[in-house]
Amino acid sequence: MSKSLSGMSLFALVLFAAALAASPTFCSAADDPSVLPQRSVGADGLYFKVRLSNSVRMPKLKPGDVVDGTLSRDVYSEDRRLFRSGSAVRLTVDHLERRRRTPNDHWPWVVKAFTPRYENYPAFTSATVTQDKDQDKDKLALRVSLISVSRLRDVHAQAKQNKSGPLAENGAVEVSPSNAKKQATSTLVLEAFGVEQIPSPTGKNEDAPAEPDSARPETLPAGTHCKILLLSDVSASKSKPGDTVQARLLEPVLLNSKVVLPAGSVFVGKVLKKTPPRWLSRSGSLYLTFTELTLPSGNQFAIAASLAGVELDARSHTRMDAEGRLRGERPGKAWMAINLGVTAGISKEVDDGVQLLIEALVSTATDASTAGTARILSSCVSGVYMATRHGRDVVLPRFTEMDISLDRPVSLNPAAEIGASATEAGGK
């Protein structure tokens, strides 16, 4: 009798696990970014990307520990360069805090289900940036807030086959071995505050790439590249066609040595197409387009721009085709091995559980008489489980660095501003 009860309880547990596996909300609730406090880069915050000098295990850091690194890109405020790439950065851990893990496309749900939902993050509240290591006067203390810690790699689209470089069949270009080695250590992404008021050591704006031209060029040519920072979460599973996407320009765009688009300009776009991860382990896809540009002065212009590159976590399995569409890779060997292992376990437990259940209900039933029915049912359950497995998602967390390209020329004349024609018509 005890054997029957234990078998029935085990069978009930298996059915409960299978129900959870079939429910799409089981994973999405754990990875849903909407339950997190939403943070955005404010008008007084700037984006800092710091490459660590040495490999550091972030969960092992303690308050008071010091982390050293260098800026991996120039930091701009409109047309003014505040810090040069390569400047030394020193961070001191203020305290530790628990954060929900960022959604990813690394593993199937069964691994995510048993992965801790939260992880310890070091909290940095201040940083010291030194542009010249030999001069103490160039040391500046800043208020900062840690956004993310990860190993990053670049993925971009290429229209033509490149015989000299590694090009995937769908047009995705991987980082070169030299870049991959350079990015072996973690990269910290931080938001810094109150840096716009930093005076130049000589009293002049020497770090400005060029003075803005009062007679701004009338047209920005097609093919112009802009480095932008995504300000909201986007994914193939949760975003919908038509959802608004916002990003901020990280570096000024120059034309004929003149600043045309200052850093901080805002690009507004939308999710044009998306395909969520589907049954039979089919991966999702995502296609973004940008349609509006707002300068720091408030002038708005209509544009047409598409993705040309994106910086992703080194473990991400997202690729970009020649048209700028982001696609999830097919599940690899590890992904399939995990799902097959779970399937085998479910099949075995259902087989044993069904036999015990039938023998408990039918007194004349034996192992031999129930074996066929149990095997058929277990095969059906395992088949349904494998068929309902979704493929990889396409996940772009907020503060993802992207490269976009203008699809057509953009007129920057006042008459080309959004609403200018309506205003003129109203005046008449």
E strand or H helix that includes residue 292: strand 285-294
| pTM (global) more than 0.85 | no
Q: What confidence score (pLDDT) does residue 194 get?
A: 65
Pairing of strands 395-396, 234-235: antiparallel
Q: What confidence score (pLDDT) does residue 287 get?
A: 94
For the chain, what are the domain ranges?
Answer: 2-19+335-387, 32-151+186-198
Q: Which pair of tokens denotes residue 404?
A: 């976009």
Q: What confidence score (pLDDT) does residue 316 get?
A: 85
Cα–Cα distance for residue pair 406/305, rounded to 1 Å: 4
Q: What confidence score (pLDDT) does residue 13 get?
A: 40
3-state secondary structure of 248: strand
Q: What confidence score (pLDDT) does residue 197 get?
A: 53
Are the C-beta atoms of residues 293 and 300 closer than 8 Å to each other? yes
**Per-10-residue mean pLDDT for the chain, 428 residues long?**
41 40 38 34 67 79 88 86 89 85 76 78 85 66 82 69 43 37 66 63 46 58 92 91 93 86 92 92 92 90 92 87 88 82 84 82 75 83 86 89 92 74 48
String of b and e for 51-76 (b: at least 16 CB within 10 Å)?
A: bbeeebebeebeeeeebebbbbbbbb
Angle between helices 367-387 and 333-361 (to 10 degrees): 150
Cα 180 to Cα 109, 187, 232, 301, distances in angstroms: 28, 13, 27, 38
Q: What confidence score (pLDDT) does residue 407 get?
A: 93
- At residue 259, φ and ψ (nearest 5 deg) are -75, 120
Q: What confidence score (pLDDT) does residue 270 get?
A: 95
Q: What confidence score (pLDDT) does residue 290 get?
A: 95
Cα–Cα distance for residue pair 181/183, rounded to 1 Å: 5
Residue in 169, 233, 174, 238 with CA at minimum distance from that of residue 393:
238
